[in-house]
Structure 1
Amino acid sequence: MPQDNQMTPAYSALSQWSGPLGLPDFSKFSDADFNAAFDIALEKDWADVEAVLQNPDAPTIENTLKALQLSGRDLSHIAAIFWMRAGAHTNEDIQALEREVAPRMSRHHSRIMMNEALFARLDALYQSRTKLGLDTETLRVLEKSWKGFVRNGAKLNAQDKARLADINEKLAGLGAGFGQNVLKDEASWALFITDEAELAGLPEQLRAAMKAAAEERGREDAWAVTLSRAIVEPFLTFSSVRHLREKAYEAWAKRGENGGATDNRTLVTEIVALRDEKAKLLGYANFAAFKLDDTMAKTPDAVMDLLMPVWDKAKQRASEEQADLEKLITGEGLNHPVAGWDWRYYAEKLRAERFAFDEGDLKPYLQLNKIIEAAFDVATRLFGLTFKEHQGIQTWHPDVRVWEVFNADGSRRGLFLGDYFARQSKRSGAWMSALQSSHRLDGGQPPIIYNVMNFAKPPKGEVALLSLDDAHTLFHEFGHALHGLLSDVTWPAISGTAVSRDFVELPSQLYEHWLTERPVLEKFATHYKTGETIPQDLIDKVLKAATFNAGFNTVEFTSSALVDMAFHTSDKPVTDPLVFEAEVLKKLDMPEAIIMRHRTPHFLHVFSGDGYSAGYYSYMWSEVLDADAFAAFEESGDVFNADLAEKLKTHIYAAGGSKDPEELYKTFRGRMPSPQAMIEKRGL
């Protein structure tokens, strides 16, 4: 093992974080330092494991479970920085190393999880767990750790272990490649508009964002439609130039299937086959059964029991919506059907007609800085947290902002970082992650949590404005951040968002509800030019229109979840993923004018790693919970009810994975909900 005096300054900076406020010092390492740092950290992690293996004493919680939980601290730090960079600010060097590191980390993980002697020590504790006098949290960590080893092949024979390790290594490499291909397709495509007449219908703020995007790409003479959702969706919503909408829509829909080096179809075929083989090696009927075994849903049948009734209602509503849009088209003297590139455009016209407002009326009141303040203010009112921004701290990109977070008593809670603007070096979407998760073991550590968004960056000196959907995204991801920041557990393995996949979206989706509460909008929705508070009649219209276009939105989502489940329950090999996708959608009678929110070749949730594979349904599963949870506040007559907020903090946001999620929810609410509240909330 390398000695400490052999560690380079760059390795120390990557692994021993000595920057401001406990952050890494980003000035003391470069991209070129990651490879050597991983070499050392992987070796040190294995040395930590060997120390457990070579302990001559009988296994105890202290010398086995705790020792494993605290192992590999250097590796955790280096990997946290690296994976953040790979998603939020990548380049060719980082991507090349990602393709190498992902399988290498998988191989290292398999080496640990399949070690017979190590599993024997853990198994001895597990088999005697009822006699050890363990507290509830420690018992749960022991059980989860034991099950984790089993699910990673600890009980397989030597030949099957070798095959499973090979599968996991290949899947890690394929997932990294899948994500990089989508990013390249997104970053390399732009529709440059040089004729101002072709900007017809576009709001001033969108034109400014397109101008900034073009300038970033070296075209000061143009406006650019990019495949950042913050630009392409509003373009499809407002552009009155149909042939340009069609170009943008087709490019958006075809990410990952354009032929050549970035085409993901072959990768999907390989991923699905390897996942199926992995599940069967571990004794499961299919990959969905394997993934769902450790969730609230438990089985594919339970997932389908949730999705199919919603699908039927959504499809019926979408059919009614389409008929309304066709009337608008006919009323303009046109006779074309509603195509995919028409839906958002005519739906926005219909909303303006039906509710006397459109997104363009609302956006001037949704300033990014004010919505950030709103998210913080809700956290203060519910949980007593306060936030202090620190300027001038170097992070991974100049756009990143840093806040210190404090408890109600003034004590320091941790750090929150926000990276809000789209750029070519960032993958699409929005997410929360941790540079460092909180726990109390062996002195503990505070949380360092970050959110990444892809909002359109305004020209220098101008105000960043959000759509209502953007604002919901910010609240959603900050809900995840609070799950990490408020975590109050002893063991790292159950900190924050380390919960079952179909429970993890509850804190984030629940938090979205407060965005559109009147006290929040009245305080923070102010006009970026005049400072005027959003008019009450506009708030009323926004709330009244909350379920507008519900059929379209639900079909987009549910079709993605159903195709995900189909891939991972299929009893036949998937030879062509696009043919398979089309066959599944045909059986579902998918409306022709709507596509999946995430089509297969760019379905990052499912194929750039297995985090949401056979798990995209979890947003809706959690939505059943969040609709019911917020109803508790509404029923109390106070959406900031202090007693309920304390219960919410204790049993949902702070509890991490310390108990079974069903038990946590019942402790908060007193019962489990039915899907009806969610169906009503969606307006179905």
Structure 2
Amino acid sequence: MTQLLATDPNPFFRPWATPFGIAPFGEIAIDDYRPAFERALAEHRAEVEAIATNPQAPSFANTIDALEVGGHTLDRLCGVFFNIAGSDATDAIQAIQRDMAPLLAKHGNAISLDPRLFARVKALHDKRAELGLSSEQMRVLEKTYKNFVRSGALLDEAGKVRMRAVSERLAVLGTTFAQNVLKDESTWTLTLSEADVKGLPDYLKSALAQAAKDRGKDGYVMTLGRSMVEPFLTVSPRRDLRETIFKAWVKRGEMGGDSDNTAVVAETVKLRIERANLLGYPTFAAFKLDETMAKTPGAVRDLLDRVWVRAKVRAAEERAALAEMALSEGMNEPIEPWDWRFYAEKVRQQRHAIDEAEMKPYFQLDRMIEAAFDTATRLFGVTFRERTDVPVYHPDVRVFEVARAGQPIGLFLGDYFARGTKRSGAWMSAFRSQENLTAPVLPIIVNVMNFAKPAAGEPALLSFDDARTLFHEFGHGLHGLLSNVTYPMLSGTAVARDFVEFPSQLYEHWLARPEVLSRFAIHAKTGEAMPVSLIDKLIAARNFNQGFGTVEYTSSALVDMAFHSLEDAEGLDPIAFEAAELKRLGMPEGMVMRHRTPHFTHVFSGDGYSAGYYSYMWSEVLDADGFSAFEETGDVFNPELARRLGEFVYTAGNTRDPLEAYKLFRGREPDPEALLVKRGLVKAA
């Protein structure tokens, strides 16, 4: 590893004398990135070459440990660059990202397809039982060997050449896909007049006015951010505007021109099939699921089909209720997708006496952050202290020092508001992951959201779904912050894709508890706590419109699986394929997928959730069953259960098989019926 020098002109090769060693963002110029990548890649190549040519016989220390230690500078650089590329992607950052994608893929291939390295790893793997390894070391060795094999290490030379080409091209396509979606989201706007926003609640008018101000305009501007689109679709009486906005929203990535993703998806699916075939799998789904809890596409479809049938029945009942409400108000036309949220809100008000405009002032962003922190304190004994002396990459970012038993365990960054340079959605990421291999390394974790930014001086108000998203991502954040493992490979959220959502989805449950709402759901204007009667209504209505939500999600997961279960994608038309698959499934009228194919970034901006969008539902089986363990004790903060949850899930990373980890926490395997009960699709026994 190159020694860092205080006099180096490039900040990535200087020591960072900042709190927790976070990046000195103010010192990093756009022109620093390219030379930093060149130097960091060269440094890592030299480190890997030293391992491959080591004349000593392979040992765990000189091969596996050495591979884990190598690439420190590159990891530090990537931790900064790719977080910025997701949350503050200027044109210059995007240009660098496009150039670096194939180079980084090529670099990864050079390592994973190096026969000298693989020979050393294989030699250790063949005699692993004789090495006296700890359980964590054994898991690292097993994963290292599998990673080499799944990258093509067992292929002949011709196969390796083709694998290199395929993976490098897929890296380019994934970057292109994400940037195309961001372009459509950041460039499409709709200017609204005073008449257009008549009848909208103040919080939404304020957000629309702020969006106009951010773009140097007067009046009101609608963007394609979910945190603005969904409230507008829910409360605007203007059906014509709802239709215009909805159609633009679902056409992201399919608007024609150079940001259209149709051809990108077709080529991606085709190359993923080829990659799977090279490795001996009939489909990409079969390849991808081999390293998950589900194991096979059949197991995934069994779960999704079981839910899909019940969700369609519930959605049909809901649609009939919406049509009846619409008719009572003089709208004698079929319920279209841009009508669903609007009339669903009216039915919800009628059945549960809940008004979104009445509810929203109770969900102040600052108070919800406090609620998420307090829940972590009560469960895991961690505390949070805001720091204003820590460098940040954008003025909106807030920083908190996280401690346990009085000792710092990491930094947490919260980046909560939408902006034109940030991709849509919400996510957790790490600027630096926890490890203890050569020295204790504390994690630096970030949660990124896209909440509508309020006008200056006004509190940011969330919907209940927004607040749930905040809790969800903070659950991921805790998974990274509480990690206590030796090896970087096993740190934090580096677990099976269909297990990684368990800690985050489980954490959502505490938001809806009276113990939390009564303390933190505080009205923005009156300062009064949410009344018990309103809390009761909110909890009673939690499964309202669940058929809609389940169909939205499950259709997306089923289409993802359909694309990646193809054995041949020659001549694939992704839009036609999506439509045909939805028709085969019997997609209910008046509904669309939560994420249509051209903007399905989970699946097509990289391999993360490809053939894996089902993971949220797979993990939901675990979270529904897991939270019931707390409920069964009569104390949702039960100390013993919280201890086991922390020890075997949140701190353990990928040190053991996920099903084993779950059983150590819960005491048994999960009960799939808990998912259907949670969603209200069947009644509890």
* Superposition TM-score tier, normalisation by shorter sequence: over 0.9
8 A contact 1:475–1:515 mirrored in 2: yes
Residue identity in the other structure for 1:32: D
Is 1:112 aligned to 2:111, yes or no? yes
Partner of 1:93: 92
Partner of 1:602: 599
Q: Which of 243, 247, 250 is 2:244 aligned to?
A: 247
Q: Which of 455, 460, 463 is 2:459 aligned to?
A: 463
Residue identity in the other structure for 2:271: L
Mapping of residues 644-659 of structure 1, within 5 Å: 644-659=641-656
C-alpha separation in 1, matches of 2:319 and 2:403: 49
8 A contact 2:184–2:252 mirrored in 1: yes
Partner of 1:236: 233
TM (norm. structure 2) is: 0.98
Partner of 1:503: 499
* SS of structure 2 residue aligned to 1:426: coil
Partner of 2:50: 51
* SS of structure 2 residue aligned to 1:585: helix
* SS of structure 2 residue aligned to 1:638: coil
Partner of 1:149: 148
C-alpha separation in 2, matches of 1:644 and 1:555: 33
C-alpha separation in 2, matches of 1:202 and 1:363: 13
Q: Which of 345, 348, 352 is 1:351 aligned to?
A: 348
Partner of 1:170: 169
The C-alpha deviation readout for 1:288-325, integer Å capped at 9, x for no partner, is 00000000000000000000010000001000000000
8 A contact 1:89–1:425 mirrored in 2: yes
Is 1:368 aligned to 2:352, yes or no? no
The C-alpha deviation readout for 1:32-51, integer Å capped at 9, x for no partner, is 11001000000001111111
**1:10, distance to aligned residue in structure 2 (A):** 2.2
Q: Which of 214, 217, 228 is 2:215 aligned to?
A: 217
* SS of structure 2 residue aligned to 1:64: helix
CA RMSD of aligned residues (A): 1.2
Unaligned segments of structure 1, at least 5 residues:
none
The C-alpha deviation readout for 1:214-271, integer Å capped at 9, x for no partner, is 1111112x21111111101000000000000001000001000011000000000000
8 A contact 1:228–1:422 mirrored in 2: yes
C-alpha separation in 2, matches of 1:405 and 1:618: 29
- The farther-off stretch of 266-275 and 566-575 is 566-575
C-alpha separation in 1, matches of 2:536 and 2:655: 41
Residue identity in the other structure for 2:374: D
TM (norm. structure 1) is: 0.98
C-alpha separation in 2, matches of 1:463 and 1:475: 19
Residue identity in the other structure for 1:475: F
Residue identity in the other structure for 1:9: P
The C-alpha deviation readout for 1:60-111, integer Å capped at 9, x for no partner, is 1111100000100000000111101110001111111111111110100000
**1:199, distance to aligned residue in structure 2 (A):** 1.2
**1:22, distance to aligned residue in structure 2 (A):** 1.7
The C-alpha deviation readout for 1:560-596, integer Å capped at 9, x for no partner, is 0000000000133252100000010000010121100
Partner of 1:198: 196
8 A contact 1:482–1:653 mirrored in 2: yes
C-alpha separation in 2, matches of 1:470 and 1:273: 36
Change (3 A) 1:259 1:12: closer
Mapping of residues 181-192 of structure 1, within 5 Å: 181-192=180-191
Is 1:341 aligned to 2:338, yes or no? yes
8 A contact 2:6–2:15 mirrored in 1: no
Partner of 1:488: 484
**1:443, distance to aligned residue in structure 2 (A):** 1.0
8 A contact 1:439–1:489 mirrored in 2: yes
**1:375, distance to aligned residue in structure 2 (A):** 0.3
Is 1:28 aligned to 2:57, yes or no? no
Q: Which of 530, 537, 557 is 1:541 aligned to?
A: 537
8 A contact 2:376–2:382 mirrored in 1: yes
C-alpha separation in 1, matches of 2:409 and 2:567: 49
8 A contact 2:273–2:568 mirrored in 1: no
Partner of 1:284: 281
8 A contact 1:364–1:465 mirrored in 2: yes
Residue identity in the other structure for 1:357: I
C-alpha separation in 1, matches of 2:446 and 2:395: 15
8 A contact 1:2–1:40 mirrored in 2: no
The C-alpha deviation readout for 1:623-648, integer Å capped at 9, x for no partner, is 00000000000000000000000000
Residue identity in the other structure for 1:310: V
C-alpha separation in 2, matches of 1:539 and 1:3: 57
Counting matched residue pairs gives 680
Mapping of residues 255-266 of structure 1, within 5 Å: 255-266=252-263
Mapping of residues 564-603 of structure 1, within 5 Å: 564-573=560-569, 575-603=572-600
The C-alpha deviation readout for 1:127-186, integer Å capped at 9, x for no partner, is 000111111111011000000000001111111101101100000000000000000000
* SS of structure 1 residue aligned to 2:438: helix
Q: Which of 191, 194, 205 is 1:207 aligned to?
A: 205
Instruction: Show structure 1 runs of 4+ deviating over 2 A.
Output: 1-13, 15-21
**1:54, distance to aligned residue in structure 2 (A):** 2.2
8 A contact 2:365–2:462 mirrored in 1: yes
Is 1:384 aligned to 2:385, yes or no? no
Residue identity in the other structure for 2:309: D
Change (3 A) 1:494 1:163: same
8 A contact 1:276–1:568 mirrored in 2: yes
* SS of structure 2 residue aligned to 1:420: strand
Residue identity in the other structure for 1:369: D
Partner of 2:9: 9
* SS of structure 2 residue aligned to 1:441: coil
Residue identity in the other structure for 1:268: V
Q: Which of 546, 551, 554 is 1:555 aligned to?
A: 551
